[in-house]
Amino acid sequence: MRAVAGRARGLRPTRRSIVVGLGAAVALVAVTILMQRYALSGLTVDRAAIRGWLIGDGLYSYRDPVSLLGTAISPAGAVAMIPLALLPVGLGGWVLALAGLAALTLALLAITGPLARRYARPAYPIVLVALLLALAAEPVRAALGRGTWDLVIFGLIVADLVALRRSAWARSRRIWWPGRASGTPRGPLGTFWASGGWAGVGIGLATALTVGPALFILYLAVTRQWRAAVTALVTAATVAAGTLLAAPRETAAWFGEVLWRLDRTGGVGQTGNQSLAGVLARLYDSATTPILLWLSFALLLVAVGFIRARSAHLDGDEITAFTLIGLTGAIVGPVTLTHELIWVLPAVLLLAAAGAGCRWESVRPRPGLGGRFPGLGWFTAATCAYLLFLAAPIWTVDDAFVRNAYAIALILILNVLPWSPGVAPAFPIDRWLEKRRRTIQT
């Protein structure tokens, strides 16, 4: 029996390696197909603008001969993309794609890990399935095919989510077990890593590169996570100051003009713009959006997103809180193209996890369909949301409602997304006290 068990244990890593290898092969084939379909259109424009800038032209004076669009990349992003601009387009696209796939995989692992542990399920199969399903969704397809770094930005923000959870765990541990934990690297760097002291660096870098993640800095301040908020703000300011020294003219043009143009990435009323501003522009059949109406509804959605995110944070679910802020930023931005809707992926995972939680935590069936199939509503919502972003009907169906389907879905998810109390807290918890409370309650 021991020999059989030993052979079984020896086969598991091999079987797992085969599954991971097949998943990687499918991902590479998918990336190849997507690059051919979308022709790396975003990277092509950014690369041409940066190469023109390097030979003395203005970064924002370039216009693509076909689309007549210029680059909307920030000066910090342009500096970071100089190595890619020096490579051929295809090779640069593969570098961005591999970096994006790595960031997406690690982010999914960080998001699904706490959810899987809560219900005593293995995380790696869930991550593999989620990654393969994500490759077929429109936001990931567009990000990989167009050659944008939205997946990398997503990974940077999730890295701070991991840091906040690690910091909370370190502080919780000090409550009931002072001293260095076993397995923690020695030295100041090891302590800095284990304690999550780097929380805020990822959001700061993401803000300097694309501006949109600045909403997460405001969220950190609202939830009084002051150290992470200050770290993010200082990181973004440091990168901006360095960019000002390296490219003063482009930095002045960015903050003085380009940043405030709502149509810097294309017309506000284009179908690809699935933000609130795009919906209003299409409803009014205009190339621009009614500013006062947009600001009024945008402030309302920001209030809803922040109130719900703060509630999720106070209940100990930082994953849902970050997802709500990501969805809020996508819907209230002036122009949110489909490759910028990455936060829909964790939202679908959270909806599915809510359905699974209802199923696994149900003690006695109740009458009716909801009692026989607990969590059916959340499973249905997750399936509908995923199928919507899989089919991408906004490009094929000429209907006013369907053309705004992504934006409507974002608003609905923002208002109904559930959270799981205590699944991933960003504040210290006395786990012994919690365990005694649960024992008394049961």
Question: pLDDT by residue (tens digit) across 117-127?
Answer: 877 777 888 88
Alpha-carbon span 185 to 191, nearest angstrom: 7
Burial class (CB in 10 A: 0-12, 13-18, 19+), 52: middle
**Angle ∠(35,142,353) on CA atoms, nearest 5:** 125
Q: How far is CA 319 from CA 110, 257, 424, in A?
A: 9, 35, 7
Is residue 384 scored above 80 in pLDDT?
A: yes
* pLDDT for 367: 47
pLDDT band at 168 (very low <50, low <70, confident <90, very high): confident
0.85 exceeded by pTM: yes
Alpha-carbon span 292 to 284, nearest angstrom: 14
For residue 26, how many other CB atoms are within 10 A of its CB?
Answer: 13
What residue type is 440 in one-letter code?
I
Give the three-class secondary structure for 334.
coil
pLDDT band at 57 (very low <50, low <70, confident <90, very high): confident
For residue 164, how many other CB atoms are within 10 A of its CB?
Answer: 26
pLDDT band at 99 (very low <50, low <70, confident <90, very high): very high
* pLDDT for 12: 54
* pLDDT for 13: 60
Tokens of 224: 């009084």
Of 98-107, 181-190, 254-263, 329-338, the range with the lowest mean pLDDT is 181-190
* pLDDT for 193: 59
* pLDDT for 127: 87
Alpha-carbon span 162 to 198, nearest angstrom: 10
100 versus 253: the higher-pLDDT residue is: 100
Of 20-24, 303-307, 322-326, the range with the lowest mean pLDDT is 20-24
127 versus 432: the higher-pLDDT residue is: 127
- Mean pLDDT, rounded, for 89-115: 92
Phi first, then psi, for residue 424 (nearest 5°) are: -155, 75
- 229-277 pLDDT, tens per residue? 999 999 999 999 999 998 888 888 888 888 887 666 667 888 889 999 9
Is residue 137 scored above 60 in pLDDT?
A: yes
* pLDDT for 69: 79
165 versus 266: the higher-pLDDT residue is: 165
Alpha-carbon span 178 to 172, nearest angstrom: 10
* pLDDT for 372: 54
Alpha-carbon span 300 to 305, nearest angstrom: 9
Alpha-carbon span 321 to 313, nearest angstrom: 6
Give the residue carrying structure tokens 């197909």.
33
Mean pLDDT score across all residues of the chain: 83
- Per DSSP, the residues of 267-291 read -TTSTT--SHHHHHHHHTT-SS--H
Is residue 68 scored above 80 in pLDDT?
A: no
212 versus 440: the higher-pLDDT residue is: 212
pLDDT band at 440 (very low <50, low <70, confident <90, very high): very low
* pLDDT for 373: 57
DSSP-assigned letter for residue 226? H
pLDDT band at 158 (very low <50, low <70, confident <90, very high): very high
Is residue 1 scored above 70 in pLDDT?
A: no
Tokens of 307: 């109130």
Closest CA to 348 of 131, 125, 146: 131
Is residue 432 scored above 60 in pLDDT?
A: no
pLDDT band at 28 (very low <50, low <70, confident <90, very high): confident
166 CB-near residues (< 8 Å, 6+ apart) = 194, 195, 196
* pLDDT for 5: 47
Tokens of 292: 């006062």
- Mean pLDDT, rounded, for 180-187: 53
* pLDDT for 309: 96
* pLDDT for 192: 58
Buried-state track 358-393, b at ≥16 Cβ within 10 A, e below 16: beeeeeeeeeeeeeebbbebbbebbeebbebbeebb
* pLDDT for 59: 86
Of 83-97, 110-124, 125-139, 423-437, the range with the lowest mean pLDDT is 423-437
- Mean pLDDT, rounded, for 320-333: 95
- 395-417 pLDDT, tens per residue? 988 888 899 999 999 999 999 99
